[in-house]
Amino acid sequence: MTNSRILMIDDHPMITEAYRKSILNFADNNEGYIFHIDTAVCCDSALLFLNEFSYDVVFLDISLPNSKDQKFKSGEDLGIFIKKKFSNTKIIVITGYRDSFVMSRLLEFLSPDALLYKGDVNLDMCSKSLISILQNIPFYSSSILQLIRKKLSSEIRLSKTEKILLYEIEKGTTIKELSDMLHMSVGAVEKRKRYLKELFNIDISEDSALITAAKEKGFI
């Protein structure tokens, strides 16, 4: 018998209600599963639940508004807090961000038990990911698996600064802005860019060619 308490955190109540109904429907059609589900729409309401109940699983959206005290700027901050304070709580992250920088950061710094891209998610996937992690088996949706496979197949290893540089170049951030952001001289930023082009075997000067190569290998 599996009897679990679940907290779903998303600032779109219709989404959490759809997830909640799909999981309860799974329990109704499969013997041995009982789920108690609470829903929160922001960091502050989630913290109230977390202070009152002990949760086995948290479904967490990354795009959440700041908490009133500004301690939590996103769902990612809340997830890191949950990981530290409630070590037995498993986390299923659902994100609408598809770029590999964000997904890689989530895998590296938050290390959720399941990571789902919203574009991949259907109602069955909610219960599948839940049952998987309750059995201590990590679960990733198809877009996340594609990213992981691309990175595993590549021999290129990037530092955190180089990952940020690629991400910002793809966004169109200027050299001056990159210099301020990375606390590096303009010359040092240009040198890093030249190194990245050598690393990705790019002979032409246009940044677009570097970004295309980085995307092909799953770095953006």
Q: What is the CATH number of the domain that holds 35?
A: 3.40.50.2300
* φ/ψ of residue 140, rounded to 5: -130, 140
Q: How many CB atoms are closer than 10 A to CB 177?
A: 13
- Using CA atoms, how far residue 3 sits from 29, 135, 136, 153, 213, in Å, is 15, 13, 15, 40, 47
Run of H or E including 129:
helix 123-134
Do 136 and 180 belong together in one domain?
no
Do 69 and 123 belong together in one domain?
yes
Q: How far apart are the first and last CA of the chain?
A: 42
C-alpha–C-alpha distance, residues 47 and 64, integer Å: 13
**Cβ atoms of 190 and 207 closer than 8 Å:** no
> What's the token pair of residue 17?
């209600």
User: b/e for 82-115, b at 16 or more Cβ within 10 A?
Assistant: bbeeeeebbbbbbbeeeebbebbbbbeebebbbb
Given a cut of 70, the residues of the chain with pLDDT beneath it are 152-155
Do 114 and 83 belong together in one domain?
yes
> What's the token pair of residue 215?
């995307």
The pLDDT assigned to 26 comes to 93
The pLDDT assigned to 154 comes to 66
C-alpha–C-alpha distance, residues 165 and 173, integer Å: 9
> Which residue range is the domain that position 78 belongs to?
2-151
Give the chain's domain count. Answer: 2
The pLDDT assigned to 72 comes to 93
Do 110 and 210 belong together in one domain?
no
Do 143 and 82 belong together in one domain?
yes
